[in-house]
Amino acid sequence: MAVSVVMPALEMAQETGKLISWLKKEGEQVRKGDMLLEVETDKAVVEVEAAADGVLAGITAKPGDVIQVGRTIAWLLKAGESVPSDASTSAPTGRTTRISPKARKLAQEKGIDISRITGTGPGGEILAEDILRSAGTDLQVGPQTAEPSSIGRLMAERTTASWTTVPHFFVTRHVDAGALNEARARIVAGGTKATHTDLLVSAVARALKKHPRLNASWKESAVVVHDRVNIAIAMAVENAVVTAVIPDADTLDIWAIADIRAGLADRAQSGRLHPGDIKDGTFTISNLGMYGVDTFTAIIVPPQVAILAVGAIADRVVAVDGRPIVRPMLTLTLSCDHRVVDGARAAEFMRDLTALLAE
């Protein structure tokens, strides 16, 4: 029997997916398990496998289409089979937008989503004027409006929700990074491309084992303390940020952490993080040190209850034993959810983290 290819639900509560590309062509023989298409969800671009052997046929979605989860977008046919004609297998599509050829051309040139425009033509058609008005261009020059990507939109929603509902407070410590620098130099000399972030992941994971209250979630007015320590690392991607997760970081040595982190960074840069790469983080580290930032405060990623903001390591004059000396210094700022973590607990975590970094 012909097997339908449907837009998969890759995340809970996912309603639509955006088809990025077909990895096989119409009419091509496909084996079960072959990568068949790429789909962008709110969080990542994911490759989807073929569910059966067959010839790919009856493709009804093209790259860029946003498709309801569960809708049939193609078929895998065995020899002698044809694409079923029963239209009830696909979800109903919306009314087609009536738009003039000129307006369509203008919309494409200006990158305007016509589904957001109300036509003012005699029959409600979208006319060139509607596009120009929407673009706000015509003759005037002004700020340009850009549609956010899925990830960008999600970032906007999540940070707003966090900042407006989570009672944040911040704890800052200046840390001597001499030992950290030496440790990294030793590992790099051994042939592993470890970063300061890798060492911080390792230290934070160990500190969290001692302070499980910071490795927790606020869920429906209750505190859920996690037994696994999954450290999420904030990574900048185009016009947005993603948090990729190193699971069970407390059980990994520095070499394993460096290896996993490097893989995550590669996939994040190419927009190809797997769903598993971004789920179940329990604590986040955001490092802006490489940008020369001395200190900053980060927004907590719910349902996590804390995030560590890491600044740059820089030579500073500090007092040691009553004398001014120059030391490589690092500023760490912990953001905490006061519903779960109080100031004293945050301070104790920071004290222990500082001690671990001094080892």
Rounded Cα distance, 303 and 306, in Å: 9
Contact segment (CB under 8 A) with another protein among 114-122, 229-237, 261-269, 320-328 equals 114-122
Q: Which stretch binds another protein (CB under 8 A): 51-59, 65-73, 118-126, 268-276?
A: 118-126
Q: Cα(306)–Cα(160) distance, rounded to whole angstroms?
A: 16
Question: Shortest approach of another protein to residue 96 CB, angstroms?
Answer: 16
Shortest Å distance, C-beta 123 to another protein: 10
If binding is defined by CB under 8 A, does position 127 make contact with another protein? yes
Least spacing, CB of residue 104 vs another protein, in Å: 8
State how beta strands 306-310 and 283-287 pair: parallel
Residue 56-95 contact track with another protein, rule CB under 8 A, x = bound: ----------------------------------------
- The one segment of 100-108, 231-239, 297-305, 343-351 that binds another protein by CB under 8 A: 100-108
98 binds another protein (CB under 8 A): no
Q: Is 103 in the site for another protein (CB under 8 A)?
A: yes
Given 120, 144, 251, 269, the residue binding another protein (CB under 8 A):
120
Q: Please choose, out of 99-107, 192-200, 218-226, 337-345, the segment that lies near another protein by the rule CB under 8 A.
A: 99-107
Asked whether 33 and 49 are in contact (CB, 8 A), the reply is: yes
Q: Rounded to the nearest whole angstrom, what is the least distance from the CB of residue 135 to another protein in the complex?
A: 15
- Specify the residue, 29 or 108, whose C-beta has the smaller distance to another protein: 108
* Burial profile 4-14: b = 16 or more Cβ within 10 angstroms, e = fewer: bbbbbebbeee
The distance of closest approach from Cβ of residue 147 to another protein in the complex, given in angstroms and rounded to an integer, is 24
Q: What's the residue count for the chain?
A: 359
Find the binder of another protein among 125, 259, 348, 352 (CB under 8 A): 125
Nearer of residues 63 and 124 to another protein, judged by Cβ:
124
Q: Pick left, alpha or beta for residue 290 (phi over 0 → left; psi -120 to 50 → alpha; otherwise beta).
A: alpha
Give CA angle at 345 (183, 304), nearest 5°.
Answer: 80
Using CB under 8 A as the binding rule, whether residue 34 contacts another protein is answered as no
Question: Is the dihedral angle over the CA atoms 105, 110, 114, 120 positive or is it negative?
Answer: negative
- Which of 103, 138, 106 shows the shortest CA–CA distance to 124? 103
> Which one among 80, 92, 94, 122 touches another protein, defined by CB under 8 A?
122
Give the interface size with another protein as a residue count (CB under 8 A).
Answer: 12
Applying CB under 8 A, among 80, 92, 101, 322 the residue interacting with another protein is: 101
Q: How far is CA 244 from CA 147, 153, 160, 169, 298, in A?
A: 24, 18, 20, 24, 16
Half-sphere exposure of 144 (CA within 13 A, CB side): 6
Min dist. Cβ of residue 97 to another protein (A): 15
Q: Are 76 and 54 in contact (CB under 8 A)?
A: yes
Closer residue to another protein (CB): 7 or 107:
107
- Distance in angstroms (rounded) separating the CA atoms of residues 49 and 274: 13
Q: Coil, strand or helix: which one is 213? A: helix
- List contacts with another protein (CB under 8 A): 100-103, 105, 120-122, 125, 127-129
